[in-house]
Amino acid sequence: MVYTVTFNPAIDYVVHTGEMKLGSTNRSDREEMYFGGKGINVSIVLRELDIQSKALGFTAGFTGEAIENGLAEMGIDTDFVHLKKGNSRINVKIKSAEETELNGQGPDIDDEAVNKLFAKLDKLQDGDTLILAGSIPASLPSDIYEKILERLAHKNIRTVVDATKDLLLNVLKYKPFLIKPNNHELGEMFGVTLTNDEEIEKYARKLKAGDGAMLIDENGEIHRCGVCNGKVKNSVGAGDSMVAGFTAGILQGDYEYALKLGTAAGGATAFSDGLAQKEKIAELFETL
């Protein structure tokens, strides 16, 4: 079984409008709503690739209920911890001449709720895959990723960590199966700006990972994949889609296949209004 963890799920409310005038009433041309959060995005794209997962994390209030119901309608299995206070956040994304985002804070997560999540994670078995993705709310301890990987270290679980800076650096000692910094995030970790493949490879080797369509495996071998061609419409969830594609691919084939499927899934999201769909992933996969 594949498990994803989203600490701060959200309803993404996307508003398309013409010119935005601050201090005035503006009218939308159209709106969309999506159920978001990096782990949730991974679960949704895994479903498109016929890989069942279980989405874990925290939800609260009427917005949390809407997230769970929406995911259930999409065929996503969930087992969230229900918080007693607050509401899961709503993120407002305004797409006009420029794109503006206003992300909610989300509810506080207390120790009791964290322990309930740990109890759910304790049920994972050898051979399962756990995907930890995204930042963490301020109410959680900064070492929550470390605590989870330490708790599961005695089991043969494939772990995937998609995070930045210290959240990622501090879990390397537990040897996650896959980590996915992009070139900007990789440079931030070492205080440098990376401008070419040689520099990316140099610093990726320090993490035993790669950027985008470059993978460095546990034996130090480099795997590369070409880029997908298309018009970029959307950057939200492209990295999550790549994680989903790679995870699905490694369950079905080798590194080359997984990297190719991950690249196609990331491109399919980038070239769509929402998250990648099966048909677009398959179309792009054939071009790589």
pTM equals 0.85
Return the pLDDT at 9.
Answer: 95
Q: Is position 240 annotated as part of the catalytic site?
A: yes
**Sequence-ordered strand ranges (E) for the chain:** 2-6, 10-17, 28-36, 53-59, 77-78, 81-82, 89-95, 99-102, 129-133, 158-162, 178-179, 214-216, 222-224
In the prediction, which pLDDT does 135 show? 80
Contact 60, 86 (CB under 8 A): yes
Which pLDDT score is estimated for 228? 82
* Pairing status of strand 99-102 against strand 214-216: unpaired
Q: How far apart are CA 181 and CA 168, in angstroms?
A: 9
Q: Give the Å distances, CA to CA, from 198 to 9, 180, 181, 205, 211.
A: 37, 17, 16, 11, 11
Q: Which of 128, 162, 211, 240 is catalytic?
A: 240
- What are the mean pLDDT values of the chain's consecutive 10-residue runs (288 residues total)? 95 91 92 92 96 96 97 96 96 88 92 96 96 88 92 94 80 84 55 60 51 58 75 82 93 89 91 90 91
